[in-house]
Amino acid sequence: MTKEDAVKSCKLFQGFSESGIRFFAAAFQETAYRTGEAIIRETETGNSLYIVSSGRMSVETLDNNGMPCLLTNLGPCDYFGEIALLKGGAHLVTITAIEECRVLELSQKQFLELQKQKPQTCLKLVVSIMQHFSGKLRETQGALKKSVTQ
């Protein structure tokens, strides 16, 4: 999958023009990861948005005993690190390749440079991130409420 195809297929970029897709795709850096290799680690500082271009990866957190707990798996066109792109800070999970993967990365530094070139296009991404994040928050709230009331 090309960088443009991966960006275009990512939910965060739905509704972007072709020129907006090309603008962001050109800024993403692509990295290959081997099976078992960590893309990000829990508690390490991060400041990038990632899009899975190919392959699969696991998302884990440590339980109260320090043991890894699988939360979900990610595959092509999934994304992570969206809040780190905007705010930076410690990762809340570890994401590890469970097969060979290719991942696109947009760092906060690159994003700030892009804002100077096309502020409206970057604002559109920020709005998209906030919309998707609020949706994830609502899903989590619903799941918590369901588990508490059972």
What's the pLDDT tens digit per position in 120-135? 999 999 999 998 887 7
Task: Give domain limits for the chain.
Answer: 3-149
Query: 35-46 pLDDT, tens per residue?
Result: 999 999 999 999
**Positions of E strands within 35-135:** 38-40, 45-46, 48-54, 57-62, 68-74, 79-80, 89-90, 94-97, 101-107
- How far is residue 13's CA from residue 141's CA, in Å, rounded to a whole number? 25
Predicted structure pTM score? 0.89
- CATH number for the region 3-149 comes to 2.60.120.10
Q: What is the pLDDT of residues 77-115, one digit of tens each?
A: 999 999 899 998 899 899 999 999 999 999 999 999 999
Give the distance, in angstroms, between the CA of residue 16 and the centroid of all CA atoms in the same chain: 17
State the pairing for strand pair 57-62/94-97. Answer: antiparallel
Q: Kindly report the CA angle at 26 between 73 and 22, in degrees rounded to 5?
A: 90
